[in-house]
A and B are shown apart, each in its own frame.
Chain A
Amino acid sequence: DGGITQSPKYLFRKEGQNVTLSCEQNLNHDAMYWYRQDPGQGLRLIYYSQIVNDFQKGDIAEGYSVSREKKESFPLTVTSAQKNPTAFYLCASSREGGYGYTFGSGTRLTVV
């Protein structure tokens, strides 16, 4: 589905739980990104990775963690330290330099 797949589409989390969102791409892109989307606030960068085994914090990294063990995969863990995790999470990948930015279809996370 567009070369970048996010799963699950919907996710429900109980307070105090950690949950992991999956992001896989087959575009051979070097860089991958996680964004959070809230109404009226646009897309805010959580973490990004420009190369395997390396990643950097974005603007709102607190309460989140990532790993980049494979070029194709960039999972995001929403930890219990994230106090307001209910949001729409978008994963993206790009060629070097940020060209060809492609988004996944998103995961909607709800705390119950």
Chain B
Amino acid sequence: GENVEQHPSTLSVQEGDSAVIKCTYSDSASNYFPWYKQELGKRPQLIIDIRSNVGEKKDQRIAVTLNKTAKHFSLHITETQPEDSAVYFCARRGGGTSYGKLTFGQGTILTVHP
């Protein structure tokens, strides 16, 4: 279906370490995969996205990889900083009648310890 499974639900790292969050989906028609960061009490904000015709995309310290065969995509944050602490959500967009609608994962609480 349209569900997205996100793991882990919580992630704790030391400043400077890398963090990886993984999402899996089942609908092979999924074609767009954004990642959002939500700080406490604030709105989710898009940090990076990838389309299904691309395998990897980087933006400074963050990157997203997509494995269409295995139906999973991952967020990679390198050289983590305390300000990276937030809740991160993955999402996917399908086709057909659900075109345009995003389905979100359950979220990962990332804590970066100084």
Interface residues of chain A, those whose CB is within 8 Å of chain B, are 2, 31, 33, 35, 40-45, 48, 50, 58, 90, 94, 96-99, 101, 103-106
Contacts and interface: CB of A to CB of B under 8 A. Distances in A.
Interface stretch (B14-22, B42-50, B52-60, B72-80): B42-50
Contacts of A96: 100
Interface residues of B, number: 20
Contact of A103 (B6, B45, B99, B101): B45
Given A94-B100, A98-B93, A101-B34, A2 B43 contact: yes
Chain A interface SS verdict (over half): mixed
A58 B97 CA distance: 12
B25 interface: no
11 contacts: A40-B107, A42-B107, A43-B104, A44-B104, A45-B101, A48-B101, A90-B43, A97-B93, A101-B102, A103-B45, A105-B42
Contacts of B89: 42-43
B106 interface: yes
Contact of B102 (A50, A98, A106): A98
